Chain A
Amino acid sequence: MEAFRLMKELKTNFDQEIKYLPKEAGLALIESTQENGRGISAKCRNAKAEDLWSLTSFFGYSTQTFVLAVNLLDRFLAIMRVQPKHLACISIGCLHIAAKVVEQECNISSTHELIRISQSKFTVSDLSRMEKIISEKLNFQFKAITALTFLHLYHAITLSHTSDRKEVLNQDKLEAQLKACLCRIVFSKAKPSVLALSLLTLEIEALQSVDMLEIAQRIQRHLKISESELQHWRGLVAQCISEYSSPECSKPDHKKLVWIVSRRTAQNLHSSYYSVPELPTIPEGGWDESESEDWYEDVSSGEESLSSSLGSDAEGPYFPMHYRCQSRKTPTF
C-alpha cells in the first residue's frame, strides 16, 4: 500500500512540476549573455548560486532551503531583466524567503546577520523591498516542487521495495550532488523529475544494484519519461558530478572576500621578518689574511669557547703553516 501511495504522490507531483519551472526563454537569455554585459550572465548566476550554498551551509539551513532558494532565483531571473548590481540583493532575498518557508522560525537568522555575513552592501530595508518584489512577481508560489522533492520520493519508493538490501542509497550524497548541479544554470532547464532520476540512476549504477535499477526503470515508465531525455540529462549530470568529486582542488578566489579584523590585531600584523634590520650581516668564517695571527693564538691559547666539544668555532680546518713560522707575537691572553 505504501508503494502504491508513493507512486500516486509521484504522479501528482510530476503533473504539477511544470508550474515551477523557470521560463525557458529567460534562462536561454541568461546563458547567452556576455560577461560584463548589461544583463546577468551564466557565470554570474552560477557564482551567486555557490554563494547561496556557502551561506546555507554556514547558517545550518537544510538542503531544501537551498534548492528552493535557487528555484526562486531562477524563476525570477527568467522573467525579469535585472542589472548585475542587484543580483546579490535578489539572491539573498530568495534565500531569506526560502528559509522562512522551510525552516523553523527559531532557526532563521536575522536579515541583519545575513547581510553582514554575506558581506553585502545593501541595507535591511533594501532587502525587504526586494523580497516583496520577488514575492509578487512569483505570485507567492513558494512551495515549489523541486528535484529534491523527487529525490525524496524516489528514495522512499526504493526503501519501500527493499527487504534487506546490502546497498543502501546514500541520501546525503545525492543531495550534495544535486546541490552541485544546481550551481550550474544548465540544470535549471531540466525537469526536476528527470534531473532527480538522472542522479538516482547514476548512483544506482555506481552501486551496481540490479534490483534498484529495476525500481528506477519502473519509476521511469510510470512517469513516462523518454529514454532520450533521460540519457541527455544523465550525460550532463555525470560530467558535473565527476568535476565536483574530483580530488583536485580548485584554488578559491578569495580576493572576493573581505577580511575585517579589529584595529588591535591589524596593528600587530606587521611582520618582524619584513622589517629591515639595521645591523648589516656579519658573514661567518670570514677568514681574513691580516687576522692570521689571531688564528695562531686562538688555536694555541687553549680554546675557551664552548664550541670545543660541539664543533670548533675555528673558521676553517687549518691555519697556514707559513704564518705559524712567521709569528712574531706571543699570545697575550
Chain B
Amino acid sequence: MSAITASEKVDGFTRKSMRKAQKQKKSQGSSQFRTQSACLELSTLPQLKDAPSTEQQELFAQKLQQCCVLFDFMDSVTDLKSKEIKRATLTELVDYVSTNRGVLTEQSYPDITHMICTNIFRTLPPSDNPDFDPEEDEPTLEASWPHIQLVYEFMLRFLENPDFQPTIAKRYIDQKFVLQLLELFDSEDPRERDFLKTVLHRIYGKFLGLRAFIRKQINNIFLRFIYETEHFNGVAELLEILGSIINGFALPLKAEHKQFLMKVLIPLHTAKALALFHAQLAYCVVQFLEKDPTLTEPVIRGLLKFWPKTCSQKEVMYLGEIEEILDVIEPTQFKKVQEPLFKQISRCVANPHFQVAERALYFWNNEYILSLIEENIGTVLPIMFGSLYRISKEHWNPTIVALVYNVLKTLMEMNNTLFDELTASYKADRQREKKKEQEREELWKKLDELRLRDTQNNSHGVSNALNNSSNNNNNNNNADSNHHDKNADSDSAADTTKDGVTTEQGATMETK
C-alpha cells in the first residue's frame, strides 16, 4: 500500500494506476483456496464414451465425485496435473449431459447438485480495490475460472436437459440453494454473473414453487442496495431476468407486482451507479407500462420526484427513459401527466449542460411525441415557450440554438395563433422588465449624482431631490428616502463639522 515515494506524497496527485501497480497482490484473492486436509491427486478415469452402458452410471458418479476436489488457482504451479484432469473431466461431463438421453437418473441428482454446490458456492472475497468504480476500473476476475466456468456450463446443460425433472430436482434445488445462488450475483467477474443470470432464469422458469421466494429475495437485495449499502454488482443481471418475468405477467397485474414497481424499481433510479443498469431498468419500467397503462401516472410522477438535480449524466438517462415511456404512452394517460412533465422538460431544455438540453430538445424529432403535443398544444406550448424563447437568445452552445429553432418552428407550424399570442405576451413581459431595469439604473445614477453633489455642497437639497424621485419608484426605495430623511433631520440638528457630517452621510449611503 505504501510504496509511494515521498515526492509523490508531496505532489498529492499520485496517479491511481501507479498506486495500484505498487500494491501487492494479497494471497486471499481467490475464494477458492481452502486447505484440503490431504492434497488429493486425481487419477485419470476411463472415458465415459468408452465405458459400456452398464458401467456408465457408476463412472459418472465417480467423475462427479472427483470434481468435488477444489484447487488453489492463486498458486499457478501446484497440482497442475490434477487441475488438468479435473478440467478435462468437467469438459467430458458437460458433453455427456448435453448429448445423451437417459443420463439423469434419480440417483444422479444429489451427486450432480452436490458437485455444483461444492464448486460454486463460496464466500466471495472482499474486493481487492475498496474504491472499485464499476465504470472505470477493471473488475477482479475469478481466479479459478477455468474450472468454475465448466461447472456453470454443466449446470446449464443439466437444467436444460430434456430429461430434467423439476419434481426430483426440487429436493436439492431448494430455497437454500437459491439463496446461495443469489449471493453469487455480487461477484465482480462479469462472466460469472452472465452464467448466473441464465441459470437463475432457467430455475425461475422450471420451479414454480420457488418463484415467489426468488422474487422476494430479489426484492430484498434491491432494497438493501438502494437504502443500505449502494453496493451490489449484479443489479443489471437481476433486472434482465426480471424483464423477462415482467414480460410474462398475467393480466390484471397482481398488487404485489405493482408494489414492486413503485417501491423498488422507481427508487432504484436514485442509485449512484445507475449508468450500469439503466438500460435494463428502463426496459422493466416500460414493460410494466405496456402491461398496465394506468401505472403511467404514478411512474412518471415517481421519476419526476427523483429527478436528478446535480448529476447531468443521470439527467440524460432519465430523459432517455421518459422518451421511451412516451413512445408507448396512451393519449389519455398523457393528458394526466403533461403539465408536470413538460415543466420539467422546459427546465431541462434551458439547462446549461448542453447534453441535457440537447437530449430534451431531441424529443421534438419523435413523430409520436409530436402528435401528442399537437393534440394538447394549448397546454404544452405555454409551458415550453418561455424557456425556448429565452435560450434561443442566451444559450452558449450553437448546436442547441439551432435545435431550438427547429423546435420553435415546429411549434409555430402547429398552431400559429397561439404561438403569436405567446410571442406577444413574452415580448410585453420583456418590455416591462427592461423598463424596470432602466428605472432602477436611473435611480442609482441619481443617487450617485446626489452623493457627489452632497459631498461638494453638503446642502439640504439632498432630501428634497430624493423625495421627488422616490414618488414614482417602487417600495425598496422607500427605505432610501426614510433613511435620508432621518439623516436630513440629523443634519439640520447637527453641530458637528462639515466633514464629520459629510462622511457620516457618505458612509451611510455606501452601506446602503
**A interface residues (Cβ-Cβ under 8 A, vs B):** 50, 53-54, 57-58, 60, 116-117, 119, 172, 176, 180, 244-245, 247, 249-254, 257-262, 264-265, 268-269, 271-273, 275, 277-288, 290-291, 293-295, 297-298, 303-307, 310-311, 313, 315, 332-333
Task: Kindly state whether residue B213 has any CB partner on chain A within 8 Å.
Answer: yes
State A101–B25 Cα separation when bound (angstroms). 76
**Residues of the B chain whose Cβ atoms lie less than 8 Å from the Cβ of A306:** 212, 215-216, 219, 256
Contact of B320 with A268 in the complex, beta carbons under 8 Å: yes
State A24–B244 Cα separation when bound (angstroms). 69
Contact of A288 with B408 in the complex, beta carbons under 8 Å: no
Given contacts A277-B244, A279-B240, contact A254 B255 (CB under 8 A): no
Secondary structure type dominating chain A contacts: loop
Given contacts A264-B355, A311-B254, contact A176 B417 (CB under 8 A): yes
Given contacts A277-B244, A305-B213, contact A250 B412 (CB under 8 A): no
Q: What residue of chain B has the Cβ atom nearest to residue A58's Cβ? A: B405
Contact of A280 with B399 in the complex, beta carbons under 8 Å: no
Residue of B170, B248, B362 touching A259 (CB-CB under 8 A): B362
Contact of A257 with B409 in the complex, beta carbons under 8 Å: yes
Within 8 A of A (CB), among B153-179: 166-167, 170-171, 174-175
Contact of A117 with B420 in the complex, beta carbons under 8 Å: no
Residue interface mask B136-153, A partner, CB < 8 A = 1: 000000000000000000
- Min C-beta distance of B29 to chain A, whole Å: 31
Number of A-B contacts defined by CB within 8 Å:
193
Residue of B249, B286, B375 touching A284 (CB-CB under 8 A): B249
Contact of B403 with A57 in the complex, beta carbons under 8 Å: no
Contact of A254 with B244 in the complex, beta carbons under 8 Å: no
Q: How large is the interface on B (under 10, 10 to 19, 20 to 34, 35 or more residues)?
A: 35 or more
**Residues of the B chain whose Cβ atoms lie less than 8 Å from the Cβ of A290:** 166-167
21 sample A-B contacts, Cβ–Cβ < 8 Å, listed by A number: A54-B405, A57-B408, A116-B402, A180-B416, A249-B414, A265-B316, A268-B359, A271-B324, A273-B324, A277-B247, A281-B248, A282-B204, A284-B245, A288-B208, A294-B166, A294-B207, A298-B208, A304-B216, A305-B215, A310-B254, A332-B171
Given contacts A250-B413, A282-B245, A283-B250, contact A60 B393 (CB under 8 A): yes
Given contacts A172-B424, A250-B414, A332-B171, contact A282 B201 (CB under 8 A): yes
Contact of B283 with A272 in the complex, beta carbons under 8 Å: yes
Contact of B280 with A272 in the complex, beta carbons under 8 Å: yes
Contact of A273 with B402 in the complex, beta carbons under 8 Å: no
State A32–B60 Cα separation when bound (angstroms). 90
Contact of A116 with B398 in the complex, beta carbons under 8 Å: yes
**Residues of the B chain whose Cβ atoms lie less than 8 Å from the Cβ of A253:** 413
- Min C-beta distance of B264 to chain A, whole Å: 11
Q: Which 3 A-B residue pairs are closest in the complex by CB-CB distance? A: A305-B212, A272-B279, A252-B413
Task: Kindly state whether residue B406 has any CB partner on chain A within 8 Å.
Answer: yes
Known pairs A272-B282, A277-B240, A282-B204. 6 more at Cβ < 8 A?
A: A57-B423, A176-B417, A251-B374, A259-B362, A259-B365, A278-B240
State A50–B249 Cα separation when bound (angstroms). 51
State A297–B171 Cα separation when bound (angstroms). 12
Task: Kindly state whether residue B272 has any CB partner on chain A within 8 Å.
Answer: no
State A54–B365 Cα separation when bound (angstroms). 18
- Min C-beta distance of A140 to chain B, whole Å: 31
Contact of B256 with A262 in the complex, beta carbons under 8 Å: no
Task: Kindly state whether residue B334 has any CB partner on chain A within 8 Å.
Answer: no
